[in-house]
């Protein structure tokens, strides 16, 4: 599995690159805003992004801001032209750039993906929330699709009436196995009084119990990635899956178990991945047990 770092903070990128585990970088307008706000105009946006592209050992995803296909194509080409002389660049195109749903822009992302890909420009399809969207992006020739695992977990929790900051924190792992068992328990309770299959199938009690714990058959961000990979493998799509919107190290592990091509991981999650209480405790014990004779081995003569 390749690891991209999900940040626009140059210092974080440099540090993670120095650990020798980074294969690329992903940014988005929100991450860029955070990085720029911190710098208060001390460096131009163009120079700052050039720096990121120069230090990254692999593709840096940069997002367009247009929403019509022609705008996105123009902007994608411009970003590619400006920054690819300094390193590898992938252009982030939203799978569906519609904001209101009534703008007739639903398919402009696909058009832009098709066009840019046919020009040989790598496209990273962003804001992918369903396997159906991933399938369409792959059909349009995208180099990457980025399913937003954490945001789907948030959405499922919100549908269950859970509030971020109160019932769960941003970095909390969503236990989809526990969720599945809880759902089965609620379902079997709701079914207990039914006398026919038809009654169960039509029961609003059964449906409300079942519907709230998933998003149209997707039970978590990890489940979303599982299903996208299943489709891509069934048809040998070349499009690579970037597990995005990662919130904790266990999600990274589960993505790796699935054999996802890439996970894009925020700096704080990368830092968590190296830690374990027993590792630190083991280190303390080993250090305490170093005898002088053993220490002498390392002394320069
Ligand atoms: C990366 O490609 C995405 O833009 C990013 O992972 C989104 O993460 P968030 O949902 O934590 O904002």
- What is the arithmetic mean of pLDDT over 194-210? 79
Of 137 and 213, which is predicted with more confidence? 137
What per-residue confidence (pLDDT) applies to 211?
Answer: 74
The model carries a pTM of: 0.95
Best mutation site among 6, 32, 134, 170 for ligand 1, i.e. most ligand atoms within 8 A of its Cβ? 6
- Tell me how far apart the alpha carbons of residues 116 and 89 are, in angstroms, rounded to a whole number: 12
pLDDT in tens, 178-189: 988 888 888 888
- Identify the active-site residue in 74, 92, 170, 202: 92
CB atoms within 10 A of CB 61: 27
Which strand (E) or helix (H) includes residue 15? helix 10-18
What per-residue confidence (pLDDT) applies to 191?
Answer: 83
CB atoms within 10 A of CB 178: 9
144 and 90 Cβ atoms separated by less than 8 Å: yes
- Tell me how far apart the alpha carbons of residues 255 and 261 are, in angstroms, rounded to a whole number: 9
Question: Residue 264 C-alpha to ligand 1 middle, in angstroms?
Answer: 8
Of 190 and 281, which is predicted with more confidence? 281
Which strand (E) or helix (H) includes residue 263? strand 262-265
Give the pLDDT band of residue 52 (cuts 50, 70, 90). Answer: very high
Best mutation site among 9, 244, 262 for ligand 1, i.e. most ligand atoms within 8 A of its Cβ? 244
Does the C-beta of 146 come closer than 6 Å to ligand 1?
Answer: yes
The number of residues in the chain equals 301
Does the C-beta of 239 come closer than 6 Å to ligand 1?
Answer: no
- Tell me how far apart the alpha carbons of residues 60 and 13 are, in angstroms, rounded to a whole number: 11
- What is the arithmetic mean of pLDDT over 277-287? 98
- Tell me how far apart the alpha carbons of residues 218 and 138 are, in angstroms, rounded to a whole number: 19
What per-residue confidence (pLDDT) applies to 194?
Answer: 82
Beta strands in the chain (DSSP E): 2-6, 24-26, 60-63, 89-94, 123-128, 144-147, 240-243, 262-265
Of 69 and 185, which is predicted with more confidence? 69
SS3 category, 105: coil
Among 4, 82, 8, smallest CA distance to 265 is for 4
Tell me what the pLDDT averaged over the chain comes to: 94
What per-residue confidence (pLDDT) applies to 78?
Answer: 98
What per-residue confidence (pLDDT) applies to 203?
Answer: 79
The domains located in the chain, with CATH, are 2-164+217-278 (3.20.20.70)
262 and 1 Cβ atoms separated by less than 8 Å: yes
Question: Residue 12 C-alpha to ligand 1 middle, in angstroms?
Answer: 16
Among 170, 159, 144, 190, smallest CA distance to 245 is for 170
Is the sign of the CA dihedral 78, 263, 8, 64 positive or negative?
positive
pLDDT in tens, 81-90: 999 999 999 9
The verdict on whether 2 is a catalytic residue reads: no
Parallel, antiparallel or unpaired: strands 89-94 and 262-265: unpaired
Does the C-beta of 237 come closer than 6 Å to ligand 1?
Answer: no
C-alpha angle 89-95-96 in degrees, rounded to nearest 5: 135
Structure-token match 């590619």, residue found: 80
Structure-token match 């840019």, residue found: 116
As a three-state string, the secondary structure of 130-148 is CHHHHHHHHHCCCCEEEEE
């Amino acid at each position: 599995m390749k690891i991209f770092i999900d940040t626009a903070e140059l210092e974080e990128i440099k540090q993670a690159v120095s650990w020798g585990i980074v294969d690329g970088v992903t940014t988005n307008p929100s991450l860029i805003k955070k990085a720029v706000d911190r710098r208060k105009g001390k460096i131009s946006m163009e120079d700052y992004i050039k720096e990121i592209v120069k230090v990254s050992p692999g593709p840096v995803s940069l997002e367009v801001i247009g929403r019509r296909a022609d705008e996105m194509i123009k902007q994608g080409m411009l970003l590619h032209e400006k920054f690819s002389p300094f390193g590898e660049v992938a252009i982030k195109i939203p799978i569906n750039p519609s904001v209101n749903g009534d703008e007739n822009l639903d398919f402009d992302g696909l058009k832009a993906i098709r066009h840019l890909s046919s020009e040989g420009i790598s496209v990273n399809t962003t804001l992918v929330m369903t396997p159906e969207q991933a399938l369409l992006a792959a059909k349009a020739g995208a180099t990457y699709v980025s399913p937003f695992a954490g945001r789907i977990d948030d959405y499922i929790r919100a549908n269950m009436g859970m509030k971020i900051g109160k019932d769960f924190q941003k970095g909390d792992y969503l236990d989809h196995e526990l969720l599945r068992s809880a759902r089965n328990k609620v379902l079997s309770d709701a079914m207990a009084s039914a006398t026919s299959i038809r009654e169960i199938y039509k029961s609003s009690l059964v449906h409300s119990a079942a519907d709230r714990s998933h998003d149209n058959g997707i039970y978590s961000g990890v489940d979303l990635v599982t299903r996208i990979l299943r489709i891509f493998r069934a048809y040998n799509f070349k499009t690579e899956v970037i597990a995005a919107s990662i919130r904790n190290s266990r999600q990274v592990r589960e993505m790796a178990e699935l054999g996802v091509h890439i996970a894009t991981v925020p700096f704080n999650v990368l830092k968590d991945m190296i830690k374990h209480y027993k590792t630190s405790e083991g280190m303390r014990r080993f250090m305490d047990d170093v005898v002088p004779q053993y220490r002498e081995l390392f002394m320069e003569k």
